Amino acid sequence: MLEQNLAEESYTVDALSEDMGMSRTAFYNKMKKMTGQAPADYMLTFKMERAKRLLASQDYSIGEIATMLGFCDSRYFAKRFKEACGICPSKYIETIIG
C-alpha cells in the first residue's frame, strides 16, 4: 500500500493503517514490533531509501523526485533528506557520480 501511494502528500499513517485493515493503535504496535520504528518513521525511511535510488539513477530532477515521493516541494524534500541522510540531495548525487 505504501509504495502505491508514495506520491500522495495526504497519505498518512491513519490512511495506511486503514488500508491494512487495522486500527491505528494495532498498526502502530505491529509496525514497532516488526521494524523497530514507529509507522511515521518507517514511512519516512522508506521514502528516503527510494529517494536515494532515484537520485542515483540520475533520471529525474530533485523536484521530480520530491513530487514522486509526495513532498509538497523540493525544498521541504531536501530538508527532510538532509535530516535523514546527513547530506543534501545534490551532494548525494555528487558522491554517487564521483
Q: What are the 10-residue block averages of pLDDT along the chain, 98 residues in total?
A: 88 94 96 96 96 96 96 96 97 90
Q: Which of 3, 5, 6, 9 is nearest to 73 (CA)?
A: 9
What is the predicted pLDDT for the residue at 6? 86
Question: Exposed/middle/buried for 10, CB within 10 Å: 0-12, 13-18, 19+?
Answer: exposed
pTM: 0.90
